[in-house]
Amino acid sequence: MCGVCGRTVTADEVLGPVSTLRHRLIAAQTINTLCHGLPGIPSVQAAGDTWVVRGVTGAVLQYSTVNDVWAAILQDPAALLHRKRLVHRMRRRAAAETGVALNVVTAGLRQAAPDCPG
């Protein structure tokens, strides 16, 4: 995307130079699958060229990159309570994923457990 339309285009290091709606949908699905069943953790939806993170209190925030989405989720108080389980799920999922989903899981692991090797 070149920015000719007048919108600000944010580079996403996780998805690479060409980020399609399909990539954003895969990223949202991957994050939601990892967080499924952990009470109180926000959900993620792809919304055009961004993501919408919806908290359990009704708060809705919009983010431009996968790293920003992970930061928002991991800073949520519910995620802090379930951090260990979430990191365990990420590690298991990383072993089974490829492509965009692997990049999303790896980005989450880098933020959730920065001092723990893979």
Which candidate, 109, 41, 53, places its Cα nearest to that of 81?
A: 41
Q: Is the pLDDT of residue 24 over 70?
A: yes
Residue 88: predicted pLDDT: 93
Tell me: the pLDDT tens digits for 31-68?
999 999 999 999 999 998 899 999 888 889 999 999 99
CB–CB of 65/108 below 8 Å? no
Which candidate, 79, 80, 78, 47, places its Cα nearest to that of 62?
A: 47
**Radius of gyration for the chain, computed over Cα atoms and rounded to the nearest angstrom:** 14
